[in-house]
Structure 1
Amino acid sequence: MEQAAPFRSELMAHCYRMLGSMHDAEDLVQETYLQGWRSYETFEGRASLRTWLYRIATSICLRALENRARRALPSGLGAGSADPDVPLDNGDSPLGWIEPFPDAWWTPGSPEAAFAGKQSVRLALVAALQELPARQRAVLILRDVVQFPAAEVAQLLDTTPAAVNSALQRARARLTEVGLTEDGTVEPADQERRELLDRYAAAFEQADVDALTRLLRADVRLEMPPLRVWFSGREPVTRFLASRGFAGVGGVAMVPTGANGQPALAAYHPDGDGVLRAHALHVLTPGVGGVSGIFAFLDPELFAAFGLPPTLRKAS
C-alpha cells in the first residue's frame, strides 16, 4: 500500500470535514488504511486508487456518524452575549465541540491544491457542514470540495447520479439557510499573515487593549469552546479579553502556529511557579478591515497535535 501513502493528507482533511474532529479524523484514516490493506487484493482497478480510498473512508465516516452526535461551535447553540461580565458556564453540551485542524496535517502537491484545501477546512465551513445529514454532507464534500463527478460519487455511495444531484441541491440550500457566508473574509498574503499574528500576539503579551481594539472589526465574534457563552461586537469582546484574557504585561506568551488554513497562535499563561502552561489555541478569521472572528479553544491537550510543548519557561 505504499502507493496509497500520498493520499493520507487529503483523506485526513476529508474525514475532518465529515466529523469536525481532528482526533476522529486521525483514527478513521488509520482505519481506512487498515481496511484498504486487508482488502487490497480485491481492488480491481475499475476506479482509481484515490477513489477507492475515498470510498472506504467515506463509508467508515458514515458508520461512525450513525452513533455520534454532531459537533458544533458555541455560535451554533444559541445567541451571542453583549455582556462581558456574564457568568461563564461549565461547557456542558449535548453535542461535541468542533476541534481545530493543524495546517501541518495538510500537505498538498500544488499551490492551487493548498489554497482549495485551506478554504475547505475553515472553521465556519466545517461547522456548517455538521448541520447537514450525513449522506448529504458526504455528497456535498465529494462533489464541491473533492470535485468528483456525480457519476463517480454515485458509484462511491452505491446510489444514482440523480440521487446525488438531488442531495447536492438540498445540501447547498441548507448551507444557505444556516447562513454560511464568506463575506468579508480575506486570505492574507504571507507578509500580512505574519504582521497580523505579530500585532495580535503583542496586544496580549503587552496587555494592550487599545492595540487589540484596532485589530478587530466592529462585528467581531469571540467563541471559546468548551464554554457555551460567546460574544459579538468589538466592545464586549475587548472588555471580556481585557478583564479575563489578559494576564498583565509580560504575563502571556503567544506562539505562532496554523489551524484550518487560518492564522493562529498558541497562548501560554503563567501558573505562579515561573512556568508558562498551555492555555488556549487562538484561531483568527481575518476579514476586510480587521479580524472578524476569534476562536479560542480552551483545551491544552490540543497542543500536542500542533507539535507544541505543554509548557514554556518564562524569559528572565
Structure 2
Amino acid sequence: MTVLAHHLDDDSTNASAEDVFLADAQQYRRELLAHCYRMTGSLHDAEDLVQETYLRAWKSYKGFQGKSSVRTWLYRIATNTCLTALDSRQRRPLPTGLGAPSSDPVDDIVARDEVPWLEPIPDDSTDPSNIVGSRESVRLAFIAALQHLSARQRAVLVLREVLQWKAAEVADAIGSSTAAVNSLLQRARAQLDAIGPSEDDALQTPESKEAQDLLTRYIDAFETYDMDKLVELFTADAVWEMPPFDGWYQGPENIVLLSKTHCPAERPGDMRLLPTVANGQPAGAMYMRNRQTGVHEPFQMHVLATTDDGISHVVAFHMESFEKWGLPASL
C-alpha cells in the first residue's frame, strides 16, 4: 500500500507540474500566433500550427529541463513546426507579387482561387509580440516580402531581427551552425533589398489622427457611393489589389475607374464599412447588401497603408466572415 501510495503521489505531482506548465504556456499563445503568421502568411495555417505547437509541447514536456525559458522553448517548437509544414506548401503572394505589370481597370477581372493567397490578421494592441517585435513585424508589406524567402531564411530573419535572438540561439533552435545562420540571414537581407524599398517606415499608426481621418473619409466615399471622392485620398502612385483576383492597379484614376467598373454596388447604402485594425494598419470591414434579402453581408477587408501624403496602398481581401475581428456576422 505504501509503494502504491508513493506512485500515486508521484503521478499527482507530475500532473500538477504539467498543469502549471500548460497554464504558464498559454500566456504566449497570441505572440506564437503572430510568429506562425509571419512564417506562413496565413491566419488559418498559423492557428493550426499554434495548436500543433502546444500539442508537441505537452507531449514532450517531460523532456523540458528548464535550460531555457518556457517562452523560448515554445518558440523553438513553433519554428520547427512551421518549417516542417512549409516543406509541402506554396508561398502565399499578393497580386503584386506575381510579377505581372499593373492591369487595365476596364479589363475583365480574373479570380485565381487555386492560388494560396496571403491572408490578413486581426490586430491586438495587447499582443505581447507588440512589445517584442512591434506592429511593424506583421504589416502587410513585410509579410508579403517574407514570402519571397525560403522557409529557413524566413525563420532566421524573424528570429534574429524580430525577436532579437542571438545567432547561436537561432542555430540551436533550427539545428544548424552559427555560420550557416549568418549566411542565411545575409542572403535573406539581400533578397529583401532586391525586392525594393519597404513602405513601412512612412506608414502612420492606426490610432494617429491623420490615419483615422483618412479611414473615415475612405469609408464615407464607399458608403455614399461617391467613388470620385477617392481620388483626393490616394497618393499619386497608390496601389490597389484584391485577392483572389490576380490584377493590381496603380494611380488614383485607375483605382476609381476599377471601382466604378467592377464594384457590385449600385447606389448609396449598398456598402457599409466598420473601422477596425488589421496587420497593425487601419482597415475597414466592408459589408455588401444582399439584393435578395436586403441584409449587408461580409464582403471584403480593406487594409490601408496611410502616409502623410495619403493612402498609398489598399489590399481588399475577399472575406466570408469577420468573426476573427469580433465583428457582427451581418448588418
TM-score range, shorter chain: over 0.9
Deviates more, 1:120-129 or 1:190-199: 190-199
Which amino acid in the other structure matches residue 170 of structure 2?
A: V
Matched, 1:35 2:33: no
Q: Which runs of 5+ in 2 are unaligned?
A: 1-21
Matched, 1:289 2:289: no
Q: 1:184 to 1:36 in 2, by over 3 A?
A: closer
For residue 327 of structure 2, the aligned residue among 297, 308, 313 is: 308
Which residue matches 2:85?
64
Calculate the TM-score normalised by the size of structure 2.
0.88
Deviates more, 1:179-188 or 1:262-271: 179-188
Which residue matches 1:101?
121
Correspondences of 1:205-244 after superposition (within 5 Å): 205-244=223-262
Which residue matches 2:144?
127
Report the count of equivalent residues: 307
Which amino acid in the other structure matches residue 14 of structure 1?
A: H
Which residue matches 1:12?
33
Mapped to 2, the partners of 1:286 and 1:7 lie a distance apart of 30
Asked if the contact 1:82/1:233 (under 8 Å) is kept, the reply is no
Deviates more, 1:11-20 or 1:292-301: 292-301
Q: Secondary structure at the match of 2:300?
A: strand
Asked if the contact 2:302/2:315 (under 8 Å) is kept, the reply is yes
Q: 1:5 to 1:184 in 2, by over 3 A?
A: closer
Mapped to 1, the partners of 2:27 and 2:179 lie a distance apart of 32
Mapped to 2, the partners of 1:180 and 1:29 lie a distance apart of 31
Which residue matches 2:108?
87
Mapped to 2, the partners of 1:309 and 1:138 lie a distance apart of 35
Asked if the contact 1:136/1:167 (under 8 Å) is kept, the reply is yes
Asked if the contact 1:300/1:310 (under 8 Å) is kept, the reply is no
For residue 22 of structure 1, the aligned residue among 43, 56, 67 is: 43
Deviates more, 1:13-22 or 1:171-180: 171-180
Mapped to 2, the partners of 1:298 and 1:220 lie a distance apart of 20
Correspondences of 1:170-249 after superposition (within 5 Å): 170-182=187-199, 185-188=202-205, 189-245=207-263, 246-249=265-268
Q: 1:277 to 1:183 in 2, by over 3 A?
A: closer
Correspondences of 1:272-287 after superposition (within 5 Å): 272=291, 273-287=293-307
Deviates more, 1:74-83 or 1:225-234: 74-83
Could you tell me how far 1:298 is from its partner in structure 2? 1.4
Q: Secondary structure at the match of 2:199?
A: coil
Give CA-to-partner distance per residue, 1:66-112, whole Å, 9 cap, x none.
1111111011113343521011113244x4100001113x63349x6
Mapped to 1, the partners of 2:118 and 2:73 lie a distance apart of 27
Q: Secondary structure at the match of 1:72?
A: coil
Mapped to 2, the partners of 1:183 and 1:17 lie a distance apart of 15
Which residue matches 1:77?
98
Q: 1:3 to 1:183 in 2, by over 3 A?
A: closer
Which amino acid in the other structure matches residue 116 of structure 2?
A: G
Deviates more, 1:154-163 or 1:169-178: 154-163
Which residue matches 1:250?
269
Mapped to 2, the partners of 1:77 and 1:190 lie a distance apart of 32
Which amino acid in the other structure matches residue 176 of structure 1?
A: D
Asked if the contact 1:125/1:180 (under 8 Å) is kept, the reply is no
Asked if the contact 2:153/2:188 (under 8 Å) is kept, the reply is yes
Give CA-to-partner distance per residue, 1:148-180, whole Å, 9 cap, x none.
111111111111111111110000000011124
Q: Secondary structure at the match of 2:202?
A: coil
Asked if the contact 2:234/2:312 (under 8 Å) is kept, the reply is yes
Aligned-pair Cα RMSD in Å: 1.8
Which amino acid in the other structure matches residue 108 of structure 1?
A: D
Asked if the contact 1:72/1:127 (under 8 Å) is kept, the reply is yes
Regions of 4+ moved over 4 Å: none
Which amino acid in the other structure matches residue 287 of structure 1?
A: T
Could you tell me how far 1:184 is from its partner in structure 2? 6.6
Mapped to 2, the partners of 1:35 and 1:58 lie a distance apart of 12
Q: Secondary structure at the match of 1:71?
A: coil
Q: Secondary structure at the match of 2:106?
A: coil
Q: 1:257 to 1:76 in 2, by over 3 A?
A: same
Correspondences of 1:138-177 after superposition (within 5 Å): 138-177=155-194
Mapped to 2, the partners of 1:80 and 1:247 lie a distance apart of 29
Deviates more, 1:14-23 or 1:269-278: 269-278
Mapped to 1, the partners of 2:45 and 2:26 lie a distance apart of 19
Which residue matches 1:55?
76
Q: Which runs of 5+ in 1 are unaligned?
A: none
Which amino acid in the other structure matches residue 295 of structure 2?
A: V
